[in-house]
Copies of this chain bind each other. A is one copy, B any other.
Amino acid sequence: LIIIGEKINTSLKAIRPAVEAMDAVAVQDVAIKQVEAGANYIDVNCGTFPFKEPELLEWLVMTVQEVVNVPLCIDSPNPKALDLALKANKNGKPLINSITAEKERYNAIFPLVLKYSTSIVALCMDDNGMPETADDRVKIAHRLVESMTKEGVKLEDIYFDPMVRPLGTGSHYGIVAIETIRRIMEEFPGVHTTCGLSNISFGIPARKLVNQAFLISAIGAGLDSAILDPLDKKIMSFVYAAELLYGKDDFCLNYLTAFREGKLEV
């Protein structure tokens, strides 16, 4: 699983004050810990500071890449913030988070994908809002693949997010998300799928149980990336267990290594 470490996001109380105060050491500490725990990308998001987002996002990129070598997932819908942050990026091919098939957003973000040769998280939604069915989501994915690959973007640089809706608003939304992942992975060989884990359980109690179950099921459907907290030992344990279960861990090697290194929490 390609792990996108989610912890440097100012919507999280634990990091917000550090980013606001531009406390480089505190931010760098969270970046280092995530990489040590297995993060393949570090997400940076300061969207709760809309008025200084461009400068702050640029600062986050510069600050984080001082201490870790993994590529960054630059997380903003603001083209100006993205442009500044991408210009500052030196850590290999970054991942922009995110584009959609909404006309205005697409036209604002896509030029940056080309300008900086980035990978891109693509949300399965368009100007009709959040789609209802897996069919609707896959149709949007088709349109996005067509328009992006026409301009030279490779499938392996696209990370589709199925747009998970909360089970509390419809008990079929788990199946819709899992089915969307399965179909996108089947229809576009080489493409990636990714998503956060927490939308699925929004509004219901004991959320972690549902998030864990969802991650396991999504990996079974082919999900090959996730935006999560790599310092959450339990969720990482289930990443190892699910990859083992789904035949993605020959001779149980990764699982056994994780066990020996004390990374599994039963």
> Which residues of A (118-177) have their CB < 8 Å from a CB of B?
167-168, 171-172, 174-175
A213–B200 touching, CB < 8 Å: no
User: A167-B244, A209-B241, A220-B220 provided; 16 other pairs, C-beta below 8 A?
Assistant: A172-B247, A174-B246, A175-B246, A204-B252, A206-B264, A209-B240, A209-B266, A210-B241, A212-B241, A213-B242, A213-B244, A214-B245, A216-B217, A217-B242, A217-B245, A217-B246
Q: Which residues of B contact A205 (CB under 8 A)?
A: 256, 259, 264
Chain B, Cβ-Cβ closest to A209: B241
Chain B, Cβ-Cβ closest to A221: B220
Q: Is A249 an interface residue (CB 8 A)?
A: yes
Mark A residues whose CB is within 8 Å of B: 167-168, 171-172, 174-175, 178, 200, 204-206, 208-210, 212-214, 216-217, 220, 237-238, 240-242, 244-252, 255-256, 259, 264, 266
List 19 interface pairs A-B (beta carbons < 8 Å), by A numbering: A167-B245, A171-B244, A171-B248, A171-B251, A172-B247, A175-B247, A178-B220, A200-B245, A204-B244, A204-B252, A204-B256, A206-B255, A208-B266, A209-B266, A210-B245, A212-B238, A213-B241, A213-B244, A217-B246
In the bound complex, CA of A205 to CA of B174 (Å) = 30
Q: Which residues of B contact A167 (CB under 8 A)?
A: 244-245, 252
In the bound complex, CA of A205 to CA of B237 (Å) = 12
Chain B, Cβ-Cβ closest to A214: B245
In the bound complex, CA of A252 to CA of B167 (Å) = 8
Give A235 Cβ to nearest chain B Cβ, in Å: 11
Chain B, Cβ-Cβ closest to A240: B209
Q: Which residues of B contact A266 (CB under 8 A)?
A: 206, 208-209
Q: Which residues of B contact A212 (CB under 8 A)?
A: 238, 241
Counting from the closest, the 10 A-B pairs by CB-CB distance are A174-B245, A209-B241, A213-B241, A206-B264, A205-B259, A172-B247, A213-B216, A175-B247, A216-B216, A206-B266
